[in-house]
A and B are shown apart, each in its own frame.
Chain A
Amino acid sequence: MDVANPMVPETRRVKRVIRETHDTLTLCVEPGDDEAERSFAPGQFNMLYAFGVGEVPISISGDPGKPRLWHHTIRDVGTVSHALTQLKAGDTLGARGPFGSAWPVTASRGSDIVIMAGGIGLAPLRPAIYAILAERDQYGEIVVLYGARTQKDLLFSKEFESWRGKYGVQVRVTIDSAGPYWKGNVGVVTTLLPRVRFDPAHTVAMICGPEVMMRFSVIELKNHGIDEKNIHITMERNMKCALGFCGHCQLGPTFICKDGPVFSFDRIKPFFGIREI
Chain B
Amino acid sequence: MKTLGPLIAEHPFFKNLEKSYLELIVGCASNVRFDAGQFIFRQGEEANQFYIVRQGKVAIEICPPGQNPITLETISDGEILGWSWVIPPYHWQFDAQAVELTRAIALDGKCLRNKCQEDHSFGYEILNRLVAVIGKGLEAARIQLLDVYGNQSKR
Interface residues of A (CB under 8 A from B): 58-59, 75, 77-78, 81, 118-121, 123-124, 147-149, 153, 174, 176-180, 182-188, 190-191, 194-195, 209-210, 212-213, 216, 236
Min C-beta distance of B18 to chain A, whole Å? 25
| B100 interfacial by beta-carbon distance below 8 Å | yes
Given the contacts A59-B155, A119-B153, A236-B155, A186 and B74 also touching, CB distance less than 8 Å = yes
Interface string of B60-81 (1 = CB under 8 A from A): 0000000011111110111100
Q: What are some 5 contacts across the A-B interface (CB < 8 A)? A: A119-B148, A119-B155, A190-B140, A195-B77, A212-B143
Chain A residues near B148 (CB-CB < 8 A): 118-119, 209-210, 212-213
Question: Quick check: B73 and A186 within 8 Å, CB to CB?
Answer: yes
Name B98-139 residues within 8 Å CB distance of A. 99-100, 136, 139
Taking beta carbons and an 8 Å cutoff, which residues of B are in contact with A? 57, 59, 68-74, 76-79, 99-100, 136, 139-140, 143-144, 146-151, 153-155
In the A-B complex, the 9 residue pairs with the smallest Cβ-Cβ separation, listed nearest first, are A119-B149, A210-B153, A149-B149, A178-B71, A77-B154, A210-B148, A187-B73, A186-B71, A188-B143
Determine the chain B residues whose CB is within 8 A of the CB of A186 once the complex forms: 59, 71-74
User: B79 — which chain A residues lie within 8 A by C-beta?
Assistant: 194
Q: By the criterion CB–CB under 8 Å, are B76 and A212 in contact?
A: no
Contact across chains for A183 and B99 when beta carbons are under 8 A apart: yes
- What CA separation (Å) do A182 and B146 show in the bound complex? 21
- Are the C-beta atoms of B68 and A185 separated by less than 8 Å? no
Please tell me if the beta carbons of A78 and B154 are within 8 angstroms of each other in the complex: yes
Select from chain A the residue with minimum beta-carbon distance to B60: A186
Assuming A75-B154, A119-B153, A194-B79, what are 13 further A-B pairs, CB within 8 angstroms?
A77-B151, A118-B149, A119-B149, A176-B144, A177-B71, A179-B68, A180-B69, A180-B71, A182-B71, A187-B140, A194-B78, A209-B149, A210-B153
In the complex, the answer to whether A148 meets B74 with C-beta atoms within 8 Å is no
Contact between A213 and B99, CB atoms less than 8 A apart: no
**A176-B68 in contact (CB<8A):** no
Main secondary structure of the interface of A (DSSP, over half): mixed
Bound Cα distance A59, B77 (Å): 36
Nearest residue (CB) in B for A219 is B139
Task: Give the nearest-CB partner of B78 in chain A.
Answer: A194
Residues of B within 8 A of A59 (CB): 155
Q: Specify the chain B residue showing the minimal Cβ separation from A118.
A: B149
Q: Which residues of B contact A182 (CB under 8 A)?
A: 71
| CB <8 Å contact, B78 and A75 | no
Chain A residues lying within 8 Å of B146, measured Cβ to Cβ, are 212
* Cross-chain contact of B149 among A148, A180, A191 (Cβ < 8 A): A148
- Measured between C-beta atoms, what is the minimum distance from B98 to chain A in Å? 11
Contact B140 A149 (CB under 8 A): no
B155 lies within 8 A of A149 (CB) = no
Q: Roughly how many angstroms separate A190 CA and B150 CA in the complex, as a whole number?
A: 18
Shortest CB-to-CB span from A209 to chain B, Å, is 7
Most chain B CB within a 10 A radius of its CB, from A178, A184, A209:
A178
* Minimum C-beta distance from B104 to chain A (A): 16
Q: Which residues of B contact A174 (CB under 8 A)?
A: 74
- Cα A121 to Cα B148 in complex, Å, equals 12
Bound: A148/B149 CA distance, A? 6
